[in-house]
Structure 1
Amino acid sequence: MTDITHTNERFKILSKSSDFLNIILDNINSCVMLLDNELKLRAFNNPLTTIFSNKRGTDILYRRCGEAIGCAHQIEENKACGSTSHCSQCELRMASLYSYIENKPVENKHLIKSFIDHNGIKSDKHLQFSTRLFIYNKEKYIVVIIDDITELKMLEMEKVD
């Protein structure tokens, strides 16, 4: 047994081990993104590139959220994330801005969003997401956690039919 397994400090003991925390982040199923005040991607874990991104092998850092995750509206309208005809109704965008401005979390919200993958194939995904303001070195960021619950929703719909 190690000291880590005996602690009740909720990862506090691991705060000096960024490698360990990075391994945890990259091995959870949820997509974790850190966005800045312009909703540009500043950090992310591996599930972003395997589940949501349409940018295979390209650098997605400093791209706006919708551009990083392959939002179909941004791609189809060929406009920057934040300036498409659908951005004003985007639940993910509104929740992120709300958390940033009001310093209040948004938890376990659901949405259906269209994405285009790296092969150009458009599909709708059912997502559950949460947002929260995060301050580090006096800079404000938004932590966005997204789970793809499409399979679960499809199974639920099959049971109803």
Structure 2
Amino acid sequence: MSSSPSGCPFGVQATIQNGCLVSPSGGTVPFGQIDFGSHPSLSSATYTTSLVSNTSYTLNCTPNMTISMSLDGGQHYGSGRRVQLSSGVTLPYSLYSDAAFQNPILVNQGMNFTITGTGNNITLPVYGRIVLPGNAPAGTYTDMVAVTLTW
């Protein structure tokens, strides 16, 4: 006796979800830089800038999705974020989520934003402001802020 195929079907499906791709992964390459520039030690002016992405690092996400970003206090936190000179002298600075400097980014507080455009090579919406005291010792002041993205 021979048997014939029964013709029973089976289902096939794929679910595609919103998401992001961070490259390289693992946090070994800095995402970018907030650079307030070079100024005289006697300056008491306010300087502003925005995050400039590192070209060795990319963040790509599904367009029109919302992601949450939180920033820690940085390596030299003390009553606010601070840049530090190698001698230990610090200067306070602030981070904002808008170019008008109206929405401060609080330490470890999630901030939602929507991915616009193609979703490729996203620059995080981070803007910095520093007010120099007019008597800062000369040198390069630095800090490193950790970014956490969730989606």
Structure index of larger Rg: 2
- Answer whether TM exceeds 0.5 for this pair: no
Q: Tell me the TM-score normalized by structure 1.
A: 0.28
Q: Tell me the TM-score normalized by structure 2.
A: 0.29
